[in-house]
Amino acid sequence: MGRNYLRAAKAAGIPIAAVIDSNAVQAKSAAAEFGCAVMTDTQGITAAVVAVPTAAHAAIAGPLLKSGVHSLVEKPFAASESECRALMEAAVMGRAVLQVGHIERFNPAVGALLARAISPSTIVSFTARRMGPASARVSDISVVSDLMVHDLDIVLALKPAPVTKVEAVGTADHAEAALTFADGAIATLTASRTAATRLRDLQVATNSGVFHLDYIAKSLMTDSGAPLVYAGDALGTELAEFVASTQTGLPPRVTGDAALEVMKLAWRIEAALKVSA
């Protein structure tokens, strides 16, 4: 994922100061490809993207934030609630921006859906599917923390309401979850790392109509209209907004508080599945 951030930064014209990697060969290769230095410590760094295994997020991002280094921490936020809260506290202590890398928030089709300002009370159901082959770069977390968190983030952004019931079936690689909100609305989510082809979509049913979102096609449509396709690179936009937050002090689009709510729900689903993160 670190190389994806490097590619997006270069394409967006965002200066890359250096790369740090415990694998010296990978660090040297990335530095040569993207025209930056290799560093072995964080001396002099003012902002960083932390794209490491989830188990290392707290150990790496914590000291950075505490020392005032603005940090974009890749999702999932951290391995436990205590680690998430420790990162949030470190950001306050260091007066640093903490942004969590929920990239779908920056998908232009998602932006178009959120811009419609749908009243949460009018939403009656969500249906989300996020499926595809296993990724070689992710092996330390369940499919809930790896993939389903994207849809949980969008669901909670659209309907920030208490979830009173969580049911789930499946395994660490294929999970189906049913959520019930306090007002009776439901969300059905499927995430899989065992499917042959990639599928990422979301259906939002409201009292007045249904919205269909295709994350991959970056399209949004209603039952009564043709799909509207939106242009834009989500990762590049995410990085640009992170840089802007470090310069203006304005809160990022995905704060630690928002990311923690997503993780709380993900952990409830994993508990229902009886699988570990």
CATH (domain of 113): 3.30.360.10
Write down which residue in 87, 102, 117 finishes a domain: 102
Looking at residue 140, its pLDDT comes to 80
Report the DSSP beta bridge partners of residue 128: 189, 202
Rounded to an integer, what distance in angstroms lies between the CA atom of residue 260 and that of residue 58? 13
Write down which residue in 77, 102, 127 finishes a domain: 102
CB atoms within 10 A of CB 108: 17
Write out the residue range of the structural domain in which residue 168 sits: 104-231+255-273
Please indicate, yes or no, if residue 247 is contained in any of the structural domains.
Answer: no
Residues 109 and 227 in one domain: yes
Q: Cα separations (Å) of 247 from 26, 51, 90, 122, 250? A: 30, 21, 19, 37, 8
Please give the backbone phi and psi of residue 32, each rounded to the nearest 5 degrees, phi first.
-70, -40
Q: Is the pLDDT of residue 77 over 80?
A: yes
Digit-coded pLDDT (tens) for 91-107: 999 999 999 999 999 99
**Amino acid making up residue 167:** E
Tell me the average pLDDT of the chain. Answer: 95
Looking at residue 223, its pLDDT comes to 85
Residues 57 and 128 in one domain: no
Digit-coded pLDDT (tens) for 223-269: 888 899 999 999 999 999 999 999 998 999 999 999 999 999 999 99
Residues 56 and 173 in one domain: no
pLDDT band at residue 277 using 50, 70 and 90 as cut-offs: low
Residues 26 and 44 in one domain: yes
Looking at residue 134, its pLDDT comes to 82
Write down which residue in 69, 102, 135 finishes a domain: 102
Please indicate, yes or no, if residue 185 is contained in any of the structural domains.
Answer: yes
Q: Cα separations (Å) of 257 from 49, 81, 122, 210, 270? A: 18, 11, 24, 29, 20
Digit-coded pLDDT (tens) for 7-51: 999 999 999 999 999 999 999 999 999 999 999 888 888 999 999
User: Which residue reads 């969500």 in tokens?
Assistant: 126
Relative to beta strand 186-192, strand 174-181 is antiparallel
